[in-house]
Structure 1
Amino acid sequence: MMDWTDNHYRTLARLISKHAWLYTEMVVAETIVHQKDNLDRFLAFPAEQHPIVLQIGGSNLDNLAKATELANAYSYDEINLNCGCPSGKVAGHGCFGARLMFDPEFVGDAMSAIAANCNVPVSVKCRIGVDDRDSYEELCEFVDKVVSKSPTRHFIIHARKALLSGLSPAENRNVTASIRQGAHRVMVGRAAYNNPWNMLGHVDSEVYGMPTRRSSRRQILESYQVYGDSIMGQYGPSRPNVRQLAKPLLNLFHSEPGNGLWKRKADSTLRHCKTLESFLEETLDAIPNSVLDAPIGKEAYIEEGHFADMDSLLPPRYSSLTNGSCEIPALVTAST
């Protein structure tokens, strides 16, 4: 999500979950190509963020190939092509994003070019359909064409159609859809940003079967503060400011006692504090110690089945989705 899943948010997410796959903001291929002398600004990330996927946007084969070649040096774990963004700047004037679903032939060529210029798996993020082209058969045809022309075997499907005429990106998020056959895995977007502790805190144990980190939010904030204040000292005039660093933290106490006061104090404090350490010192007294020091546990999200066994939802029909030519390990993404 552009302007949301930046390095700062991904650092916080990785402190909460060790195993969840993280995705970058969409980076336009032309940006990478034309800023090749300043690539760290767009592509660098701490090693701790692995596994991490770079999402690229674009509709020019040469630039997609060049951008991928440049990005390959940064050792991402996967390269993803955005075929799902409904923004007018992207799908309209930019002629990529969700509009690419109208041209599966091109997407297949694009994925072939991307795969040829990197040494990691490649994937496509798309919608269940666009405008009036939204039947299950048309979705299968899109997948089949891309698979037939490239080594792509991973499709992340946003469980909504995109309406490119007359709806803003925010209005597109209100278009409802159902998962007709099930999902193998689930991608979570805004819900993981708006409630990171509850949405990510159980991922390691409930999805990956690994031990949950027993860190408290106090410990996570201490680690994040070290990260934030250290990078403020590295980049000179272009360094991030405290407001940018604090932005991912503002939903860490979603629905908890003291959350309202914490946000009011944060708004006031961000107007004058110069370090992340001082920001936390001036605001955290709004949160009870019982909340700050509580480790991740079996809370309501688990009891309500928010992390059901996704493998059990995958129907046999998906094995023949492309006439046996591919296995699709992550077919559906949930948007929240």
Structure 2
Amino acid sequence: MVAERYLPPWFSVAPMMEWTDNHYRFLARLISKHAWLYTEMLAAETIVYQKGDLDRFLAYTPEQHPIVLQIGGSNLENLAKATELANPYGYDEINFNCGCPSPRVAGHGCFGVRLMLDPKFVAEAMSVIAAKSDAPVSVKCRIGVDNHDSYNELCDFIYKVSSQSPTRHFIIHARKALLNGISPADNRKIPPLKYEFYYALLRDFPDLRFTINGGINSIDEVNAARREGAHGVMVGRAAFNNPWYTLGHVDTAIYGAPCSDLTRRQVLEQYQVYGDSVLGKYGLKPTVRDVAKPLLGLFYSEPGNGLWKRKADAAFQHCTTIKSFFEETLGAIPDSVLDSPVGKPPSDFIDTFANLNGILPPPYTEREQDVLYA
């Protein structure tokens, strides 16, 4: 079981289309050992119709555990087939997308957040997925859709899905979705956050586990949410746009692990080996640009960041290896930035960790020591 192998998902990185791919997840795991990572959403039909090329969509490096596969779809047969095909890859959880407001998904595709209007189907889908998987299952959803946005309607969705399927974990994006008239980007910021809905779920469904998502962008905010009782916190674009500082304190400030002296230079040395090993693995893909994309936020707000990005943009035009890409671009970044560790977590992290988890930092149990110090 997952619980025997990994620490709980107190912190996770949200599934983001065209962002949380294999390359990003490899980088994220170099920085944080304990953050839970999610794949991009994969449509069940993609898995089923590409079953001759499954590694391209489902394979990942073993270091990426704990990792969650997010599936989307509205056809029970395809969801069953897709989950069965994915099962041998050994994901640590299978998550069903009931939160994406994209017109391609919720509109033409008739899945994503639109499924919140049909909890009976979602329960059936979760039962089918669970039956075909060795991993636990979860649902990621919003707090409502269009005018179906009352707390009672959210409770009805949670109750029906949890009582009619094995689903015990819900990731709640604390905004409703508007299906007509605004873009997916606007759907991430225009509907107001209603954290009170999330915390009410904790009260009203004490036997379920809820992760909060939406508007939380720093480790301080993560721990503030957990102090309020959140079982887990999911962070989205901040973990991509500023991975060094967002992920760099996760293990210490959230999981209580020993401080690390890891530097960006060490991360890049390991990433270079990985990157050059995967270039062109699938014909012309991935390219140097594809592999280097997750690195573009690594020097967020640091001296030389602007020049580094300009050099990177030029290097994408002709570099054929990650090694040559680094040789051409990293001169923009001062050695002091490359060689400084992420630094200590906030000074009160020990008290925070103790208060949140009901335990003190070391000594840990034998299993916790194995995980934290591995």
**Normalised by the size of structure 1, how large is the TM-score?**
0.88
Matches within 5 A, 1:157-306: 157-175=172-190, 176-180=192-196, 181=199, 182=228, 183-232=230-279, 235=281, 237-298=283-344, 302=346
CA distance in 2, matches of 1:44, 1:236: 13
Give the whole-Å Cα distance in 1 for the aligned partners of 2:111 and 2:348: 38
Identity over the aligned pairs, expressed in percent? 69
5+ residue gaps, structure 1, are: 314-336
Aligned residue-pair number: 309
CA distance in 1, matches of 2:251, 2:137: 24
Distance in 1 (CA, whole Å) between partners of 2:259 and 2:35 is 12
State the partner residue of 1:133.
148
- Report the CA distance between 1:154 and its aligned residue: 0.4
Q: Greater relative contact order (Cα 8 A, min sep 6): structure 1 or 2? A: 1
Output the amino acid matched with 1:75.
G
In structure 1, the residue matched to 2:8 is none
Kept in 2: contact 1:205–1:211 (CA 8 A): yes
Structure 2 partner of 1:113: 128
| CA distance in structure 1 between the partners assigned to 2:354 and 2:121 by the alignment | 31
Q: Once superposed, what is the RMSD of the aligned Cα atoms?
A: 1.9
Is 1:99 the counterpart of 2:114? The answer is yes
- How many angstroms does 1:65 deviate by? 0.7
Partner of 2:100: 85
What is the letter of the counterpart of residue 179 of structure 1? Y
- Out of 57, 60, 69, the position equivalent to 1:42 is 57
Note if contact 1:130-1:163 (Cα within 8 Å) is conserved in structure 2.
Answer: yes
Q: In terms of mean alpha carbon deviation, does 171-180 or 102-111 score higher?
A: 171-180
Question: Which residue, out of 10, 21, 24, partners 2:25?
Answer: 10
Distance, in Å, in 1 between the alignment partners of 2:352 and 2:55 is 38
Structure 2: runs of 5 or more not aligned: 1-15, 200-227, 358-374
Note the alpha carbon deviations across 1:209-238, whole angstroms, 9 max, x for none: 2224321000000100000001126x2624
Alignment-mate amino acid for residue 42 of structure 1: F
2:4 aligns to what? Answer: none
**Code of the aligned partner of 2:291:** L
